[in-house]
Amino acid sequence: MSAVDRLQFHQQLQHELRENGIDGEPWQSGARTLDGSPWLIDEAQWQQLELGLAQRHRLLAAVLADLYGPQQLLQDNIIPADLLYLSGNYLLPACGLFNVANAGAAPSAWLPLLSADVGKNAAGEFCVLADFSQLPDGLGYLLEHRLAFNHCGSQLPALPKAQLAGFFRQLLQLLQQPAADRSTLVGLLAPVAKNAGYFEQAFLANYLDIALVHGADLMFKDGRLWLKTLTGLQPVASLLRYLADAKTDPLELDPSGSGCAGLLQSIRQQQLFCANPPGTSLLDSGLLLPFMPALCQALLGEPLLLPSAPALWLGDEVQLQQFWAAPANYRLVDQRDGRRYHLSRLVADKTAVESYTELKAQIKQQPAAYIAIELQPLSQLACWHPAAGEQMLAGQLRLFSLLQPEKVSVLPGAYARLALDAMALQNAEVPQAELTVKDVWVLADRGQTSSLLQSSVQQLSLSRQSGLVPSRVADHLFWLGRYNERLNLICRALRSALPLIANPQANPQHAPEAGEDALALLRFCLKANGSQLVAAAHLSLPDLMEQMFEPQNSTGIVAVLKHLLFNAQSVREYFGEDTWYVLDKLQSAIYQWPQQLKWQQPAALLRQLDEIILLQTAIYGLNNETMSRTQTLRMMDLGQHLERALQTSALLQTVFVPQQPAPPTSAALMEAVLRMADTLMTYRRRYRSELHPLAIIDLLLLDDSTPRSVGYQCARIQRQCAKLPQLAASTMLSPEQRIALELVSLLQLADPQSLFDSEQQATPALGMLLNQLQHRLRQLSDSITLSYFNHAQQHSAWQSF
Binding positions for another protein, rule: CB under 8 A: 71, 74-82, 85-86, 92-93, 95-96, 100, 219-223, 250-252, 255, 261-262, 265, 268-269, 291, 294, 315-318, 368, 794-795, 797-801
Q: Per the omega criterion (within 30 degrees of 0), is the bond before 99 cis? A: no
CB atoms within 10 A of CB 387: 5
Shorter beta-carbon distance to another protein: residue 106 or 294: 294
Peptide bond into 276 cis (omega under 30): yes
C-beta of 366: minimal distance to another protein in Å? 8
Which is closer to another protein, CB of 261 or CB of 740? 261
Of the candidates 672, 776, 778, 788, which has an alpha carbon nearest to the alpha carbon of residue 728?
788
DSSP 3-state assignment of 271?
coil
- Type of residue at 650: A
Complex with another protein: residue 72 or 748, whichever CB lies closer: 72
What is the CA 615 to chain-centroid distance, rounded? 20
Please check whether residue 690 is in contact with residue 680, taking contact to mean a CB–CB distance below 8 angstroms.
Answer: no
User: At closest approach, how far in Å is the CB of 373 from another protein?
Assistant: 17
Nearer to another protein, 228 or 716 (CB): 228
Q: Nearer to another protein by C-beta: 372 or 422?
A: 372
The C-alpha atoms of residue 98 and residue 276 are separated, in whole angstroms, by: 13
Q: How far is CA 66 from CA 376, 612, 719, in A?
A: 30, 59, 59
Burial of 472 (0-12, 13-18, 19+ CB in 10 A): buried
**71 Cβ neighbours under 8 A, 6+ residues apart:** none
Q: What minimum distance in Å lies between the beta carbon of 782 and another protein?
A: 19
CB of 779 to another protein, least distance (A): 24
Residue 793 burial (CB count, 10 A): 12
Cβ closest to another protein, residue 221 vs residue 464: 221
Closer CB to another protein, 549 or 798, in the complex: 798
Closest to another protein by CB, 251 vs 667, is 251
CA distance 780 to 519: 30
Judge whether 21 and 584 are in contact, CB under 8 Å: yes
Nearest CB to another protein, comparing residues 71 and 380: 71
Please identify, using beta-carbon distances, which residue of 109 and 696 lies nearer to another protein. Answer: 109
Shortest Cβ distance from residue 281 to another protein (Å)? 17
Task: Classify residue 734 by its DSSP letter.
Answer: P
**One-character DSSP codes across 623-647:** HHHH---HHHHHHHHHHHHHHHHHH
CB of 82 to another protein, least distance (A): 6
User: Measured from the CB of residue 75, what is the shortest distance to another protein in angstroms?
Assistant: 5
Q: What is the spatial distance between Cα 348 and Cα 343, in angstroms, rounded to a whole number?
A: 8
**CA 427, CA 419: separation in Å to the nearest integer?**
12
CB nearer to another protein: pick between 136 and 259: 259
Q: Which residues pair with 226 in a beta bridge?
A: 219, 235
Determine whether 790 is exposed, middle or buried from the number of CB atoms within 10 Å of its CB (0-12, 13-18, 19+).
middle
- Choice between 314 and 560, CB closer to another protein: 314
Closest separation between CB of residue 139 and another protein, Å? 31
User: φ, ψ for residue 740 (rounded to 5)?
Assistant: -60, -40
Whole-angstrom distance, CA of residue 510 vs CA of residue 533: 27
E strand or H helix at 332: strand 330-334
CA–CA separation, 569 and 575 (whole Å): 10
Measured from the CB of residue 302, what is the shortest distance to another protein in angstroms? 19
Least distance from another protein to the Cβ atom of residue 319, Å: 8
Q: Shortest Cβ distance from residue 316 to another protein (Å)?
A: 5
Residue 561 CB, nearest distance to another protein (Å)? 32
